[in-house]
Amino acid sequence: MNMETIAVANFYIFLIVGFIGIFMGLNLKMWTSWLYGLYGFLTGLFLGSVFLNPSSGLQLGTLFAFAVMFGGASVRRGRERYK
């Protein structure tokens, strides 16, 4: 297996884990919810570093982390607000 295959497999795992985190809603006051953002950042960093360059990897990691954290927090807030 080469690095591209590992990066793509990690990305697919991230999609599954990220969507689970988003749809269950993330409580940002709990440290376990921040692990979803960390995993998103590391996945984007790894994916960007393999296919692009390290600075693009930082940008992609930040984008993945923001998407998961913002999406999960929005879903949780919506569920709490409209109970």
pLDDT (0 to 100) of residue 33: 87
Query: Using 50, 70 and 90 to split pLDDT, how confident is the model at 12?
Result: very high
Q: Compute the half-sphere exposure of residue 71: CA atoms within 13 Å on the CB side of its CA.
A: 17
Rg value, the chain, Cα: 14
pLDDT of residue 29: 87
Q: Cα–Cα distance between 70 and 7 in angstroms, integer?
A: 24
pTM: 0.86
SS3 for the chain, per residue? Answer: CCHHHHHHHHHHHHHHHHHHHHHHCCCCCCHHHHHHHHHHHHHHHHHHHHHCCHHHHHHHHHHHHHHHHHHHHHHHHHHHHCC
pLDDT for 66:
93
Residue with tokens 């690095």: 3
Whether the pLDDT of residue 60 is over 80: the answer is: yes
Please report which confidence band the pLDDT of residue 67 belongs to, taking 50, 70 and 90 as the band edges.
Answer: very high
